[in-house]
Structure 1
């Protein structure tokens, strides 16, 4: 069976006048002290050495975009310049044809090129 009991919890450290009177009379235990978080202390940097070119060369386009938001890399201008250069290199590599050539043909030429194509690549 479900438990429909509900306990109202207010902001931590807040109390009502009724609770204050009951505490004064000894009917309720004293209020616990309010939670106080420990003071902020920045973490020590694990990798304090500067990043070199080889470290960035291994990154893909998506990883380079993620690095733009990385607070550890302070030089945004360097990252933008490097990203542009790296994307240009990747585009140049993509331009090299690896699978032969592409020839635009019309619909009537398609049937001739497909059905009457010379046998190549050792296919029988």
Structure 2
């Protein structure tokens, strides 16, 4: 749901990148009525709300719609700014084994690190290298690296390549061993992105689900307004 924290949101808040989330107070029906009445009084004087025209009530509801949508826009802007401040990578970098602790384990305390163990002569590794190049350019806040499997782990079997190691919060979050775990030779960028999102490494600025939540929220206001208009029309009959 829009407005709910994900695990990645909480990480950003813990690091001080996102501000502490203020809990939105719940508004009771009586409080909402009082707010509307106050707005009516400020705009039209002390005329009782039940004596207002539909045009007057519609104008007030338009203002309330805008207030809710503006709150949603501010939240999305904060998330976008937080991610933009981390967008300093964008490529898949070759890793040397002596730098493993610094570049992977220690670095993963502040950013997610995706490490590809590969071999040049294996077609599946070439496929995953190409896919990771594209993903890295689209998610510049994630650190993508690669290293030959036997350079990283002595006698690492070729049959295990490609292998993806996903690090976050200083720990190994997920290991995906072999091309079968990555969707096979027919795998796609979207499929690998989904795997990385499922383990928390990737975060979309605006997901399809959030778009649906926002639209549902807007649609709820329209339905509410239409219901009020119908009720008012019945009163005039």
TM-score (norm 1): 0.30
Structure having greater relative contact order (Cα 8 Å, sep ≥ 6): 2
Larger radius of gyration between Structure 1 and Structure 2: 1
Structure whose residues are more often strand by fraction: 2
TM-score (norm 2): 0.18
Structure whose residues are more often helix by fraction: 2
